[in-house]
Structure 1
Amino acid sequence: MAEPSEPTNRIWTAPNVLSMLRLVLVPFFLGYLIIGDYIAALVILVVSSFTDFLDGFIARRFNQITRLGQLLDPAADRLYLFASILGLAAGGLVPWWLVVAIVGRDVFLAALGIVLANHGFGPLPVHQLGKVATFALFLGLPVLMLGAAFPVTAAVALPIGWAITLWGVFLYWWAGIIYAIETGRVIRLPLVPSPRRSDTLEE
């Protein structure tokens, strides 16, 4: 295996093309959810999940990690999450308050990012709890789709899907509160000029 290297500025790499494919499929995924074709939506979700795994493997295995890829991959994940909750709400499978809870939390984090930027700080590191919450949502919502796509599984899939999804929403906001507390702590810290900034001022 090749030694890890710094992200490059390349655009047309295999992982980036796979990430772009995931993005192209988002409108189709949302459309199938809205019209209630949950089987087709699940097929797209499976394809997307496989390409997500594949692009990460190729990027690490063949040193094709790029700055664009570091933006596209989480963007695709977030769009699939939003498309899932919006499509399921539009189809009547989940209530709209769940959309508000999930989207509202990300708007809340965006506001925290603006506060950090105004104080001269970059984004906070991703908290492990946030990763667990996102995983729970990415697991729970497809299980709800499964119950809707195959009614024979509904008696089991829907209760399990709801349990995982609600737990994911709770953890999602819990992680958001942790980010808010950490933001409050960080913005009270004095800014220390970087060596480059100090050298420039001295010159």
Structure 2
Amino acid sequence: MFNLPNLLAFARLLIAPVMFWIILNPQVFTDMGWHVSWNYYAASLLFVIASVTDFFDGYIARELDQITIVGQILDPLADKMLTLAAFLGLMMAGAASAWAIYIIIVRELFITGLRTLSLSEGIDISASWAGKVKTVAQMIAIGFLLMHWPFGDMLLWIAVALTVYSGIEYLIGFSKAYQNRSNA
């Protein structure tokens, strides 16, 4: 339970609310005499650090054979908390489309619940290729939106499309696995 991959995932859980708070409180930086955009730079730095831990926790877990049930639940939960904290903060700060964020939130919560249910039912719906591409697309969109770079909105809608697609893919995979289990 307490291994390095799980600790890295837990670190992401701790970073998420701090990043959210920083996005929504630019006065912290202006009170120190810094430009208002420094809150986005600080949030971006935290987001990059947390995203790197996401890569390493999976790599370490596979290489050192430290995959655990706790990690299988904690890792996607930490990913969701991190991306949702960033997306909600950006939306509340007026830097991202509310509709895009609502679509992402509904999908993420639904699939996280579905994956948790599947684990309790003994059904494996591990991360798919589309789910991994979706995560990368969301992370890139968040980075662009946090830094106020061009094409951030376009990248957000691409991430939304991939989010919906991968959600449908997970739902189909779960349905097939559940039917196969019921028929066996």
Taking structure 1 as the reference length, the TM-score comes to 0.70
- AA partner of residue 127 (structure 2): V
How far 1:103 sits from its partner (Å)? Answer: 0.9
1:14-48 Cα offsets, whole Å, 9 max, x none, are 33222222211111111011124111101111221
Match of 1:98 in 2: 100
- Separation in 2, partners of 1:58, 1:50: 12
Per the alignment, do residues 95 and 24 of structure 1 end up closer, same or farther by CA in structure 2, a change over 3 Å counting?
Answer: same
For structure 1, which segment, 16-25 or 35-44, has the greater mean C-alpha deviation from structure 2 after superposition? Answer: 16-25
Map 1:6-155 to 2 at 5 A. Answer: 10-11=1-2, 13-36=3-26, 37-109=39-111, 122-147=123-148
- Separation in 2, partners of 1:186, 1:64: 26
- AA partner of residue 179 (structure 1): Y
Q: RCO higher in 1 or 2 (8 Å CA, sep ≥ 6)?
A: 2
Q: CA RMSD in A?
A: 2.9
Q: 2:153 aligns with which of 162, 179, 194?
A: 162
Contact residue 40 and residue 147 of structure 2 kept, 8 A: yes
Q: 2:168 aligns with which of 145, 157, 177?
A: 177
1:145-174 Cα offsets, whole Å, 9 max, x none, are 112xxxxxxxxx232x22222111112112
- Separation in 1, partners of 2:10, 2:117: 31
For structure 1, which segment, 38-47 or 181-190, has the greater mean C-alpha deviation from structure 2 after superposition? Answer: 181-190
Structure label with greater radius of gyration: 1
How far 1:54 sits from its partner (Å)? Answer: 3.4
How far 1:69 sits from its partner (Å)? Answer: 2.4
1:34-76 Cα offsets, whole Å, 9 max, x none, are 1241111011112212333333344344443333223222211
- Separation in 2, partners of 1:190, 1:53: 32
Contact residue 16 and residue 86 of structure 2 kept, 8 A: no
- Separation in 2, partners of 1:51, 1:182: 28
Q: Give unpaired runs (5+ residues) of structure 1.
A: 1-9, 148-156, 194-203
Contact residue 35 and residue 91 of structure 1 kept, 8 A: no
- Separation in 2, partners of 1:23, 1:57: 18
Per the alignment, do residues 134 and 53 of structure 1 end up closer, same or farther by CA in structure 2, a change over 3 Å counting?
Answer: closer
